[in-house]
Amino acid sequence: MNLPHVRLQPFPRRPIAPRRMNIMRIPIVFLLFALARFTLLQAAEPDVESLIANGHMKRARALAEAGYKAHPNDARANYLLARVRREFKSMDEAAKYAETAVRLDPKSGAYHRELGKVYFDQVDTASILTALGLAKKCRAELETARGLDAKDPDTLFDVVAFHTKAPGMAGGDRKKASEIAQELVKIDPARGYLTLAYIARHDQDENRLEGLYQKAVEAGPRNYEAQIALANYYIGAQHANPLVAEQHARIALGLNSDRNGAYRTLAAALVLEKRYEDAAKLVSRAETAMPDDLSPYVTAARAMLRDQVELPKAETYLQKYLNQTKEPEPSAPHIAGVHWSLGLVFEKEGRTAEAKKELETAVRLKPDFEPAKRDLKRLK
């Protein structure tokens, strides 16, 4: 860091009392140190968008709410709060803030894109007629965003997602989705191949996924999402290759150690390699780095459950998550899901009564949790 240059006047020729000279110079020294400290603190303090990008939504929420409280008529403050509310599934509030952001600054493609995403997420809980209206509003906002910045990768991906998921009567167009994804390959190759993989995954075209993920990594070896996508592919039971998964997860962790995805994937890979002590050290490291998100413990435990190994340790990991997690991050396992996993661990250990209790808790917390309901019915 370069400190600002301060030009000091030469000392006058006549003698100056030492006391007077110190009085003249001390304030400048303090000013320099104060300025340096302020600059360092500013650099160290993450902003809302970086927190969102790294999945620290609870911390992002606190900053976004403070920003909105200080500047309720600021377009960016409304936009950031809309993003946070959408992640936490507070869709009505997210719509309100996103609409305000667009009204205050209609020339921002990002604001229109966010509003479109809010409308699209609202479809999940809407009636059929309302859902059709929301889908059309979503498409209009995304097309406006695209018109404002035709080469923005985030907007192009969201347009692809809309045309992939929305039915034709709501404006979806699978052919257009593929065309825009190919366009994105030319603009941002790694992101483009990941988008093509998104379409293939939606179509359940498993045969294309490996090649597309490999192309994404080749096109963007320093792209975190590409490395994690390929690592997660090799964690899957159908094409498990934990050694390769570990390799790509470690690359991702080296690219960004402030995101939990790499820790989770690497923890699973180490368990599948039967390197249980290494996995324990890793999840402990993840907890030190991100104490407000203990999801790597759950990932490691579920890998143990999958292979039916180290079940007592899996139980300890799941209990730790339940005991210490007051509110999960939106991308982390929900509490009901962890009770479900713990119930299955108990079942494998022959502790049927405790298994039933955990499954009942899972269903009580999330009445529409079908896997837990099926397993509870099976045990009864």
pLDDT at residue 368 is higher than 50? yes
Calculate mean pLDDT across residues 131-149: 96
Say if CB 75 and CB 105 are below 8 A apart.
Answer: yes
Q: What is the pLDDT of residue 45?
A: 52
Neighbouring C-beta atoms of residue 355, cutoff 10 Å:
21
pLDDT at residue 22 is higher than 80? no
Q: What is the pLDDT of residue 237?
A: 87
Phi, psi of 96 (to 5 degrees): -60, -45
Q: What percent of the chain has pLDDT over 70?
A: 88
Q: What is the pLDDT of residue 28?
A: 53
Work out the pLDDT band at 380, boundaries 50, 70, 90.
Answer: confident
Q: What is the pLDDT of residue 345?
A: 98
Mean pLDDT over all residues of the chain? 90
Calculate mean pLDDT across residues 176-180: 97
Say if CB 84 and CB 57 are below 8 A apart.
Answer: yes
Q: What percent of the chain has pLDDT over 90?
A: 86
3-state SS record for 302-337: HHHHHHCCCHHHHHHHHHHHHHHCCCCCCCCCCHHH
Calculate mean pLDDT across residues 158-174: 95
Query: How is 149-195 classified by DSSP, letter by letter?
Result: -TT-HHHHHHHHHHHHHS-GGGT--HHHHHHHHHHHHHHSHHHHHHH
Q: What is the pLDDT of residue 128?
A: 87
Calculate mean pLDDT across residues 165-189: 96
Work out the pLDDT band at 7, boundaries 50, 70, 90.
Answer: very low
Q: What is the pLDDT of residue 272?
A: 97
**pLDDT digits 0-9 by tens, 297-308:** 999 999 999 999
